[in-house]
Amino acid sequence: MFSISCGLEQRVHYQEVRLDPDSKNEMKRGSTMKSRMSVFCAALTMAAAIMTVAPSNAQETAASVPVRMTVTASVPSDKRMPELSQQDIAVTQGKERLKVTEWVPAKGDRAGLDLFILIDDASNPTLGMHFEDLKTFINAQPSTTAIGVGYMRDATVQIVQNFTTDHAAAANALRLPLGFAGAYGSPYLSAIDLMKRWPAGQNRREVLMVTDGIDRARRSIPWRGLYSNPDVDSASEVAMRTGTIIHTIYAPGAGRRDRNYWEATNGQMGIAKLSDVTGGESFFLGLQQPVSFAPYLDQLQGILNNQYLLSVSAQSGKKAQMQNVSINTEVAGVELASADAVWVPAAK
């Protein structure tokens, strides 16, 4: 646009120089033409600027939507956790760096946490030996943490205690598992059922799932070997979409399937993947019944105590979708854990 307007001005000026100086009318017409062309060029330039800048700004504004995630910071056990500021955090979506709008520790008036203890009813009843560890953990939670308790059976959750800050009541709701998962037992489908029934709120959403991870609902699979369970992926997607972090403890189940090496291994791999994808931690001691849950629960408490609330401006499209994000820091010795992806609403 700029080259065109300059060319027009040059041609008008060239014609004006060659006019007869004695011809006042011609000079007047030439001046008038030059004046009109100057106005035309200025208008053309302004239009080009508006067309270039305005749509870009409008597109940038429409494509940015706020999203929120819970991030866990950790350091080696012999190190002290340093202070992490908003400037220390880098969030990328593909090759593009996203703007961090909030980075605050989950403490004080932002410490709210909804933690659901989810136990597989297919677990071996010897799980009861760990109940004192679980009760101690529940009762040690701060007043800002609401505890729920439920049992997985028939791809659903039997809730025996809704979210409550009465931690003694939550601890007393624990009962021995039945040692039977029902006709359609799947810890992953049960987790989905729980997340879909989760009450709305601004608190952090986290689950402690105690299970062997065996998907008994998929009895038709004749494969004896390692395989990828699609129900794990479904539960992971729902967790990331709802902002739910799932921690898991491997506890052997009852029955023939739990004695099958392939079934037990695939189950443990399934819950380990579920935790990793959602930003949680998976605890296990091989395929054995752990001696104590206390070390696992102590580590989990450290995770809950070192979490941050992160908000970023993500780039969205015409439709809401799951988008992978990467969260890193340059602070030496600090490792950040979060979900692999975040649910980004459609641009309005």
- DSSP letter at 340? S
* In a shared domain, residues 98 and 181: no
How far is residue 224's CA from residue 215's CA, in Å, rounded to a whole number?
14
Residue 277 sits in a domain whose CATH number is 3.40.50.410
* In a shared domain, residues 158 and 125: yes
CB 147 within 8 A of CB 163: yes
The predicted-structure confidence for 312-346, as pLDDT tens digits, reads as follows 988 877 888 889 999 999 899 999 999 999 998 88
The predicted-structure confidence for 105-130, as pLDDT tens digits, reads as follows 999 999 999 999 999 999 999 999 99
pLDDT at 36: 55
Residue 327 sits in a domain whose CATH number is 2.40.30
Here the tokens at position 152 are 């997985």
Q: What is the extent of the structural domain holding 46? A: 2-60
For residue 56, is pLDDT > 90? no
* In a shared domain, residues 88 and 29: no
pLDDT at 9: 40
Task: Read off the pTM.
Answer: 0.80
The predicted-structure confidence for 19-49, as pLDDT tens digits, reads as follows 444 444 444 454 555 555 554 555 555 555 5
DSSP letter for each residue of 274-302: HHHHHT--EE--TTSPPS-SHHHHHHHHH
* In a shared domain, residues 149 and 272: yes
* In a shared domain, residues 216 and 272: yes
The predicted-structure confidence for 73-103, as pLDDT tens digits, reads as follows 999 888 889 989 999 999 998 888 999 999 9
54-70: average pLDDT: 64
Q: Residue 5 — very low, low, confident or very high, per pLDDT cuts 50/70/90? A: very low
* In a shared domain, residues 293 and 210: yes
How far is residue 281's CA from residue 273's CA, in Å, rounded to a whole number?
10
pLDDT at 23: 46
